[in-house]
Amino acid sequence: MAITIDDAGIGDLLFGVVIGAFRDETQEFRYDIVDVKYFKPQRFRRKEYLNQASRVVFQLLGKLQLKAEEPIHICKGYIFDEAVKDLRRRYGDDRIRRVKVTGEPQRLTETAYLDEIRNLGYEPLKERDEKRAKSFFHMMNWLKKNPDKLRYAKTGWPRLSRYRLFRSYHQARKP
């Protein structure tokens, strides 16, 4: 018996990040979102998304009613670095384990993310995991055709200023 925590969407241009929590024993699954606003330039620079991810993890554990001594397996991704520190402070080192998430927890978290971006009107590439760069440019081209959806883009990455679509966004929002 354990609860496994995973994320989906951290490296994608669209939407925030979905964080999923899965209880192996009962197959219960819950998810919540680190809002895209944490991936806009100012908040992104301050890495506010790390604290927000920790907050979401604790909320999900509350929703699943974490049992005494129940282990927590959490993805090795950097988005969980603060969450792991906070979890270890609260529950101790022995209950927290960094893992490579696979199987049902990964599938459900990824499906939740894909559902969220489909709700924006975007249809993801079928081979998006194997072709990250192609997926990025597919999302960027979709944003060019749907500029009203730019508010759902993670615009905090400094390298985005290379692209005309994001250049004015970055310049207009510099402090």
CATH number at residue 39: 3.30.420
The pLDDT-based confidence of 174 (bands split at 50, 70, 90) is: very low
Q: What is the mean pLDDT of the chain?
A: 91
* Inter-CA distances, 91 with 24, 30, 101, 173, Å: 19, 21, 21, 40
Determine the length of the chain. 175
Q: What is the pLDDT of residue 170?
A: 56
- Percentage of the chain lying above the pLDDT 90 cut: 79
pTM over 0.85: yes
Residue 149 structural domain: 3-172
Instruction: Give how many domains the chain has, as a whole number.
Output: 1
What φ, ψ does residue 108 adopt, rounded to 5°? -65, -40
Label residue 175 by pLDDT band (50, 70, 90): very low
For the segment 1-54, what is each residue's pLDDT rounded down to a tens digit?
A: 899 999 999 999 999 999 999 999 999 999 999 999 999 988 999 999 999 999
Phi, psi at residue 138, to the nearest 5°?
Answer: -65, -45
